[in-house]
A and B are shown apart, each in its own frame.
Chain A
């Protein structure tokens, strides 16, 4: 048998239930794995080994006493460090929250705990989720487990790397413009951004409220389904959440009508394009229709996204004034304006940039020129996609237009950095579900396939993903030691 830490989520739960191993044994194996590889990866900002072990013991006791250990009993979950966890520091990868310990659990965390999941720790990210590499974290970047010189993607880079490297069973990320799918693609794991409203955002520290969702990053499609069915649903604490039916794993799925988005293929590296085309052939092999189509409003997606996301961010991040919580700051000037200035100097460069852009596009006189226009483009794109979904079940393309790149390659040029999000922001603007699946490698670097579906059609996404996962055999474990 392979190492315990390598097990998939459903294997962990079954193993414990069948008495093959204890939750404690499993958690110890995961912690040992973290001890072995974490110095190379830097996936975690905070690790709660003690808490995880005592939760494991509780599950073992329950098992002994023939109590229900829960649907996720023993599964270790790493949480992106922008989701509020009671009594565990939640930093958002920012200096401004380096000492912030929340007083409450986000709704997803509550659901996980209620179902026996073990919260292992908090995972690295670009500051407040703004970035595509984790290079903008105040806690040093995370490294790509497939090649330590390369970025793991972002902003949920810690969530992608930790799952790929076996540092946790599954993880939660958040996705505002691709932050789950980008690291899933770069780290060769499965990442789902759910339909807007499917998962409660209560406890997710807002970057851009109207765009973002919490979602799972896992080593298998089955695990994605398992986590989704626990964390999704209507929540009294989130006005924008909605109820939806559970997702199932169906063994047979074919004759789906799939469209490849031409513009996303055209804009990609050759290696990426080749892999996506060969994946589409696999879809055909299992009986799906696969045609190439064009989405004409795609050109405006990226500017529209950065306008809206920055606008919302500029307001969301206003609360970090260090008055009620925050970090240790010696005070030398008590005037409000000066104090705010000295506090807010501590945001990183990228966060400052977006606050500035956001404040600008919302300023009186510019509101209709930028913000309103971006909203209109957003509706146009959504409408066009919804029309396409009347004809096609799924839209596919590469998750990322390029292969993972080296540290420092794009950090000096914000526009270059923004451009890598071009394929992923579409789903956020339209509020539709999108998944990134491992599709292959080029020079040892992972390539991800992105599949998008109509709102609340996660079932179709999963059907196609599960079928593809069974058809193409992708190497699952990076060689780290």
Chain B
């Protein structure tokens, strides 16, 4: 038995859906005034009935395929009964496998790397509850809370893993890869606020399982697990019994704390949802989807290496940032030079956008377009500008959105290949750096120093090959 066992229960909204899971209200409830994205059905008004969103079944099936799950021929929905004010019907329509496999996926395998696989217990499709907004001072002070049902009924995927993780790092790897997969499928934007939530269960040394709820972003998961392992270890070392319990993660204090005991003792009284008849997916449903699935990260990696001849390192950097990889491929459509463009993107380009990388559509708002990068790389390869100036031009484009050639003209950035102009520069350096010139006659390093001076003299625009030839010529000439 390994020292630490960790299992995950991940909730991810299917953010790509236009409407909610059971009604036609908008799937994207963000930035709307409270209780404006609601209807009779998602408010659970008496007499309303849920109408299943077919696209949600398609998307959740794609997720099941991507996570290597079995997909049943028939799927069913169940009611999970519990009272909570954010739940308009006081039951949640979800899926349940205890009385037979009928959720959208189960028994999957997800590869972390060549040596580690994580087993997926099940995947289920369900509705999100509304949200409770606590007023300043909390309930005790204000005697009231606000409920916003805009989110109620949004389609949610629950992914449950076996306790196969042995350390927080594996969890991080998994969540990164899962995010990337969801992003490649185009079904879930994990960077959107509140789009993913994670419950974690942790046990050490084969002891009791502690569940941590309320982790509201993938970034916090690793911290919560680290805290919990430390907490359990110190209890273990002091011979304090670790109870099987539910704890919450406080992302301000960065600690887990024990939930009220009542929250653990739920009997959800599951039973099949009578208003949604059994859905038969049909023989061709899964194979059709499989044929039309978007490319998954692993497949893309293989393609980048084989088709574009990129290094594994470069491919990984690109694919781990789907939007950058998309940007890369858009650039290739304008100018096909994969290696050069990839290198430019993962070095100069990426260093400039690093700050914004967490915003979900950071590339869409950029003034720099694939056309710009294509032209810029073309100019480097045509020896028209140096790499150093290329970066300066890029900085300029970030602000101005102008074409690289225009920027290069305006700033006199094109390389100086004209031998007469360069000879003047070399002469000038030879006049001011006399001792270096002396050294250079015997010491090769000193020649590079002179070249640097020439580059500096020309603000980096000198074509270094020509400049070097002219320096060597000039040295030989004065030898004579």
Contact = CB atoms under 8 A, between A and B. Distances in A.
Q: Are both chains from one complex?
A: yes
B316 interface: no
Interface string A320-333: 01011100000000
B445 to A, nearest CB: 78
B17 interface: no
Contacts of A324: 43-45, 88
Contact of A103 (B40, B51, B269): B40
Interface stretch (A357-365, A383-391, A434-442): A357-365
B50 A204 contact: no
Contact of B275 (A106, A209, A314, A323): A209
Contacts of A106: 47
B388 interface: no
B277 A240 contact: yes
A372 B272 CA distance: 11
Nearest to B143: A334
A203 B52 CA distance: 17
A323 B85 contact: yes
Interface string A337-381: 100100000000000000000010011100100011000000000
Nearest to B46: A205
A303 interface: no
Interface string B265-307: 0010111001111000000000000000000000000000000
A295 interface: no
Contacts of B45: 84, 102-104, 324-325
Contacts of B276: 239
Nearest to A84: B47
Contact of B83 (A205, A236, A321): A321
Contacts of A371: 271
Sorting the interface of chain B by its residue count into under 10, 10 to 19, 20 to 34 or 35 or more gives 20 to 34
Contact of A315 (B49, B79, B99, B139): B79
A149 interface: no
A237 B83 CA distance: 26
Q: Tell me whether chain A's interface is mostly helix, strand or loop, or mixed.
A: loop
Contact of A367 (B83, B90, B271, B277): B271
B360 interface: no
Contacts of A372: 99
B359 to A, nearest CB: 36
B147 interface: yes
A192 B440 CA distance: 109
A201 B46 contact: no
B36 interface: no
A240 B269 CA distance: 23
A202 interface: yes
Contact of B46 (A100, A238, A239, A340): A100
B411 interface: no
Nearest to B275: A209
A209 B274 contact: yes
A6 interface: no
Contact of B274 (A312, A337, A359): A312
A83 interface: yes
Interface of A: 83-84, 90, 92, 97, 100, 102-104, 106, 201-206, 208-210, 236-240, 311-312, 314-315, 318-319, 321, 323-325, 334, 336-337, 340, 359, 362-364, 367, 371-372
B85 A321 contact: yes
Leading 8 A-B pairs by shortest Cβ distance: A318-B90, A362-B269, A209-B274, A210-B274, A84-B47, A205-B46, A203-B47, A205-B47
A74 B269 CA distance: 47
B271 A311 contact: yes
A240 B279 CA distance: 11
A204 B47 CA distance: 5
A315 B271 contact: yes
B166 interface: no
B81 A318 contact: yes
B269 A359 contact: yes
Contacts of B43: 324
A237 B49 contact: yes
B421 interface: no
Interface in B458-475: none
B48 interface: yes
A230 B143 CA distance: 50
Interface in B76-96: 79, 81, 83-85, 88-91
A363 B51 contact: no
13 contacts: A83-B47, A90-B47, A97-B46, A103-B45, A104-B48, A237-B51, A311-B271, A314-B81, A315-B269, A321-B85, A334-B139, A362-B270, A364-B267
